Structure 1
């Protein structure tokens, strides 16, 4: 069976399993919160609430249950909630135009399949650029499915546990477990990302509804606009065209020219855990906004639910949590000034529910550099340096930076600001939260950066700016004279944004040399080797002892990828960035230095075995690309190959395993 067929079948199966595991449980949460008025609406708004509650509240409780009772315990909890919520399916009404939305959902599923599946043909495996992040996603899914929570470090063999935000991964792990480990981790992850994308649309509609920003009779139109705006990028293609004219080169991703700001569709493909955190955070804000209008008993109920949502947000993304924290802090202080303790209650609940995650982060991570630093958001890679001149230029060019990155939705927000806006008490709290969210997002994204590996804080904080811009644009697009207000310039930005997203989706797999003038890309630069590695890792899972480490060359590429996608036999050290899950940077560097000579030059077997033993490597994976293979014309003759092809060799590295 080809790998394409395997992945396609796995993704289809996972897509069908996923809603049974978590969106269905959201109806149970909806019923529990029904005294606070969440289930008073018609069926489709209730279904939207169920999706939001499952993404916002369920993760923290699922992870706590997995910690105590494993994946089976989580399935029992979610099943009980799904049964509890059966009465919320009452009065299911036929939705006029549902066929149109089903077609759009199918199109979104095809995008997920295109961007995350492997395509195989003629002994060659074609991977998309998403595997650059998928290696981490798939590894965490596999660890939770087999070990539960907490789990050991898949990138660096060490005692103790990994310290990482992992709440999103419990659902793909459950899918893998339910399938009897037949559905591969990347496909379980892809299916969960697909359903998360559905939740994003539900969030946009709910914010607009609670903010009194939907005109009477425009509900369906508002939903269609929410879907459309998820796929509209900024004006990045303008810079891409300039680069081609000047340097005669393009990029497979439009975000490579600048410190990236991804729109919701491509963000959900690449980093759905951050998107889940965004949904959880905003759902918590909406619950707190509703709580302010209720009597004490029902107010406390929603405040507790909001606290659970904030705990889920923290467990899914530290960076989204850090960006939204100023909003919660200021709002909480203002609420206390008005003698409203509901936000304080939410904060206490969030801290209590997050205690296990705090424990894992403290216990599972070695002392390291402070993860956040002051830095002005750079404009293009030209001004990315830390010198004063670059920082000043970046500060001056911040408006242009954001204008190019947000494009159409920034124009829509400006049109909303210049024209008549909703007034009155209805929705005022949510409309204020939109402004505060945008301000917090701008401040964090503009003047802070994370420094662990990449600037994830600077890449994810703009999501808190994006949501208000999209909501305001959706409001502006509802007006009868919207086409006139946006004009030709707006139409051009709209087409440019759609073209940018299309470029990203196509480029993620097809924009490669020599067909396009792009720089050399390490990801999937040798499809024949990728095919051989997937086959070899499959053999290793069937034949190597459970828990044995399988070490590849840790310096062959900047980032090792295939091991995390296709096997559960983790390496002793993945690469120079193997401290992602909390290992000591010094220990990672020392182990890389210890193991890399094995793949660089021939050495006496005693020296090789000693290095492997000290580095915790049980088996070695040599490939035809390793320097030692190139020098010898094959793997070291002193080691017997347990698995051998023209491309690679898996050999034992322990003395007791050698003949």
Structure 2
């Protein structure tokens, strides 16, 4: 209950970061007649505008001064926001004018959805303790490292040190870290842990996405009739996933694969649902919000007078700078899409004002990002040579069986790379059908005019289809090559998902029957409303399966780790692999004691050789200190910054140290690599050796199953 209370406190502490800055900027510049709008619509503008301004502003202020200075700026922003509200309220009273709240209609429904989202997100993210076990959410798989990055910012400031690697000296982190700066600031303001702030940020990424949807419905698609109901429908579709549940049932019945073996239909490069992305990687969603907010500003700015363009272009520059520091993959996909969109606008539409605004904003973002870009250029890392991107067909359905078939065997022997890409290309369409589900039907409806009876499209809907198609092509043929996972393939696809969500909301809104064969009403605004009845039935069924898939994800986020542990205990009889939750429990208690006992600048090392990645994440979530190496695999954690030449020696020495070593050997290893404290648990091999350093060095923490030793 304490963790849930802290997360709710952190959610409230995001207000100075996620609402006030955007409100102040929009009010001072009267962004698109901001001052004349209702209070509810102002909030809808304020959240994306805050996400556009806060990340880059926080990084620049922290770079020039400190995180405390950033906190003071946001606190001053709250004071200014309150002054503006009070001043405007008094002005309205003097003029005998009532405040336009904009609460009705359906304001209560929106609040219910917001409360439901908070409840689902918090219960999906927090840990639950039971009988000396700490059951973690499956989201720890992605969030574990990000907790360490946020804690590093709290300890070392901006730019942060790479918390996973320390060879001779600290090294600046070579990664996009702007969202973790925001989380660190919230942690300071609310006096909560870095992990708690990161959980709260997942909730606010959902709020940011919802408000962006509302702005696009009104100011991009031009929805006027039943706008509030349309908005509720659109945000409800965020809870619709693909057809993964069908794949899992098939695997369980026919292939005898446990339904908890892995929650994704396939692991390599699958496009995640909104629910998964919001909880696993909120920074990518916020980067999408910044990019599409910049696009919306440029789109509306096409109708503005030249005298009002300067503040709009400035805000676009801030939005793109923040987007880059939030997610390189999302921003790179946006840049490629805008390049093709700008050419299309210039050649076929003879319109270039919006494109020029984006170009000017992009140049301005480069100036704002110059300190960050210089840091990236001057930081060494364990990754050398090669390009971060390459050409390859995105893998969906695993192509192994197709490659082993007679049709591909001869090609695979002579041209293996070409054969694999051809197989992935053939499987791309069925893979997309599973990944997108209901939205795949909307994709077909958008790309095939005959399916919508060649209904004429407005420029806005035409643009959404263009973004959908461009995003699909880009993410299907270009992949990120920094790590084995194709992050670019399924993060860049967020633009396709966002466009399809808006188009899908129009399709659902049009489902108001006239007769039994065509239960759709023609939309006078040009929306693709007329759809064959058979396709509508398929879409409705896919929507139901998508909702079931989201429910499955929500359940498996909580149950996957306990079920896997139970399987290891009963089938494999592996006491180590089956006790992850107990290790998490003893580690959370032990590291909390260690945190209170040693200086924040200490170098701490746990066993780098662990049964699987989750065991390492247990340490990274709780340790809140710099480590020498994050693991004994190649690079040792230097991928994010640092000289990798020290990795082999450190990995070898530390592996030996946690197997069986004396106190003298521990002292020697610690002095050689600058380590000050060693952490071990009952599950480490060295624990069982009663003459080892575990029992002879000075103990800082000495719990029955967790010990931290001073090895200086």
The TM-score, its normalising length taken from structure 2, stands at 0.84
CA distance in 2, matches of 1:618, 1:188: 28
Match of 1:613 among 667, 671, 674: 671
CA distance in 1, matches of 2:313, 2:343: 15
Partner of 2:375: 360
Whether contact under 8 Å (2:16, 2:77) holds in the other structure is no
Partner of 2:412: none
Partner of 1:133: 142
CA distance in 2, matches of 1:527, 1:349: 48
Q: Greater shift after overlay, 457-466 or 341-350?
A: 341-350
Secondary structure in 2 matching 1:561: helix
Partner of 1:34: 30
Whether contact under 8 Å (1:373, 1:448) holds in the other structure is yes
| 1:556 Cα offset (Å) | 1.0
Query: Are 1:117 and 2:126 an aligned pair?
Result: yes
The alpha-carbon distance between structure 1 residues 339 and 184, as it changes in their structure 2 partners (threshold 3 A), is closer
Q: How does 1:180-219 map to 2 (within 5 A)?
A: 180=191, 183-212=192-221, 214=223, 216-219=224-227
CA distance in 2, matches of 1:257, 1:26: 38
| 1:569 Cα offset (Å) | 1.9
Match of 1:530 among 584, 601, 610: 584
Query: Are 1:412 and 2:421 an aligned pair?
Result: no
CA distance in 2, matches of 1:403, 1:187: 36
Higher-Rg structure is 2
Match of 1:50 among 6, 21, 46: 46
Whether contact under 8 Å (1:376, 1:446) holds in the other structure is yes
Q: Greater shift after overlay, 622-631 or 403-412?
A: 622-631
Query: Are 1:504 and 2:553 an aligned pair?
Result: yes
CA distance in 1, matches of 2:143, 2:564: 25
Query: Are 1:573 and 2:623 an aligned pair?
Result: no
| 1:26 Cα offset (Å) | 1.6
Whether contact under 8 Å (1:213, 1:475) holds in the other structure is no
| 1:597 Cα offset (Å) | 1.1
Structure 1, unaligned runs of 5 or more? 655-659
CA distance in 1, matches of 2:591, 2:252: 40
CA distance in 2, matches of 1:524, 1:440: 46
Partner of 1:165: 176
Match of 1:346 among 326, 342, 361: 361
The alpha-carbon distance between structure 1 residues 88 and 381, as it changes in their structure 2 partners (threshold 3 A), is farther
CA distance in 2, matches of 1:364, 1:404: 41
Whether contact under 8 Å (2:22, 2:47) holds in the other structure is yes
Match of 2:647 among 588, 596, 600: 588
Q: How does 1:99-118 map to 2 (within 5 A)?
A: 99-118=108-127
Whether contact under 8 Å (1:23, 1:51) holds in the other structure is yes
Q: How does 1:482-493 map to 2 (within 5 A)?
A: 485=533, 487-493=536-542
Q: How does 1:436-585 map to 2 (within 5 A)?
A: 436-453=466-483, 454-481=485-512, 485=533, 487-511=536-560, 512-513=562-563, 525-559=579-613, 560-575=616-631, 576=633, 578-585=637-644
CA distance in 2, matches of 1:156, 1:202: 39
CA distance in 2, matches of 1:531, 1:324: 42
The alpha-carbon distance between structure 1 residues 101 and 186, as it changes in their structure 2 partners (threshold 3 A), is same
The alpha-carbon distance between structure 1 residues 108 and 516, as it changes in their structure 2 partners (threshold 3 A), is farther
Secondary structure in 2 matching 1:509: helix
| 1:629 Cα offset (Å) | 2.4
Secondary structure in 2 matching 1:641: strand
| 1:314 Cα offset (Å) | 0.2
Whether contact under 8 Å (2:291, 2:319) holds in the other structure is yes
| 1:630 Cα offset (Å) | 4.1
Q: Greater shift after overlay, 87-96 or 348-357?
A: 87-96
Whether contact under 8 Å (2:173, 2:640) holds in the other structure is yes
Query: Are 1:379 and 2:396 an aligned pair?
Result: yes
CA distance in 2, matches of 1:524, 1:173: 34
| 1:109 Cα offset (Å) | 0.9
| 1:41 Cα offset (Å) | 3.3
Instruction: Count residues in correspondence.
Output: 643
The alpha-carbon distance between structure 1 residues 257 and 317, as it changes in their structure 2 partners (threshold 3 A), is closer
Partner of 2:705: 647
Query: Are 1:75 and 2:71 an aligned pair?
Result: yes
| 1:38 Cα offset (Å) | 4.3
CA distance in 1, matches of 2:185, 2:544: 40
Secondary structure in 1 matching 2:304: coil
| 1:631 Cα offset (Å) | 5.3
CA distance in 2, matches of 1:624, 1:256: 35
CA distance in 1, matches of 2:661, 2:145: 32
Secondary structure in 2 matching 1:642: strand
Partner of 1:657: none
CA distance in 1, matches of 2:215, 2:324: 22
| 1:433 Cα offset (Å) | 3.8
Match of 2:57 among 61, 79, 88: 61
CA distance in 2, matches of 1:582, 1:613: 22
CA distance in 1, matches of 2:271, 2:281: 12
CA distance in 2, matches of 1:270, 1:35: 33
| 1:108 Cα offset (Å) | 0.9
The alpha-carbon distance between structure 1 residues 227 and 26, as it changes in their structure 2 partners (threshold 3 A), is same
Q: How does 1:328-343 map to 2 (within 5 A)?
A: 328-332=338-342, 340=353, 341-343=356-358
CA distance in 2, matches of 1:334, 1:488: 35
Query: Are 1:388 and 2:436 an aligned pair?
Result: no
Whether contact under 8 Å (2:392, 2:479) holds in the other structure is yes
Structure 2, unaligned runs of 5 or more? 90-98, 404-415, 514-518, 521-532
The alpha-carbon distance between structure 1 residues 525 and 431, as it changes in their structure 2 partners (threshold 3 A), is farther
Whether contact under 8 Å (2:174, 2:640) holds in the other structure is yes
| 1:493 Cα offset (Å) | 0.7
